[in-house]
């Protein structure tokens, strides 16, 4: 089983709202990722958690706040977003095997900021 689940599938929010995206995997993977994907572009890495600790932050604005409550769950808290933050947000996980690591992606959350 190589399933990563994400909720919600779609989210519409205003610029003053606070919302959260959720991601879950039960493959025993030790690394989890958030990506942002704009239309017709490849995914862009935002954050990486390794063994539940934040290991990479790709200079993402503070209105995006990641959280890893345990090894199976990853959240992305959203606050005061801008319309240009509208995108597909993808979660991924991997076993944590260095060069041999393989990332498995979830179906994504389609976010629209009004």
Partner 1 sequence: GDSVTQMEGPVTLSEEAFLTINCTYTATGYPSLFWYVQYPGEGLQLLLKATKADDKGSNKGFEATYRKETTSFHLEKGSVQVSDSAVYFCALSGGFQKLVFGTGTRLLVSP
Positions that interact with partner 1 (CB under 8 A): 2, 6, 31, 33, 40-43, 45, 48, 50, 55-56, 88, 90, 92, 94, 98-108, 110
Q: Which residue has the tokens 């976010």?
A: 111
Q: Are 21 and 109 in contact (CB under 8 A)?
A: yes
Closer to partner 1 at the Cβ: 9 or 62? 9
The dihedrals phi and psi of 60, each to the nearest 5 degrees, come to: -80, 140
Closer to partner 1 at the Cβ: 10 or 83? 10
Closer to partner 1 at the Cβ: 11 or 90? 90
Closest CA to 61 of 40, 76, 41: 76
């Amino acid at each position: 089983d190589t399933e990563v689940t994400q909720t919600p599938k779609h989210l519409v929010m205003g610029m003053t709202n606070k919302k959260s995206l959720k991601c879950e995997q039960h493959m025993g993977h030790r690394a989890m990722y958030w990506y942002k994907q704009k239309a017709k572009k490849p995914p862009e890495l935002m954050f990486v958690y390794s063994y539940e600790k934040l290991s990479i932050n790709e200079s993402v604005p503070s209105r995006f706040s990641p959280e890893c409550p345990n090894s199976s769950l990853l959240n992305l808290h959203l606050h005061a977003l801008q319309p240009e933050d509208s995108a597909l947000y993808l979660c991924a996980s991997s076993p944590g095997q260095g060069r041999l690591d393989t990332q498995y992606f979830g179906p994504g959350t389609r976010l629209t900021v009004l």
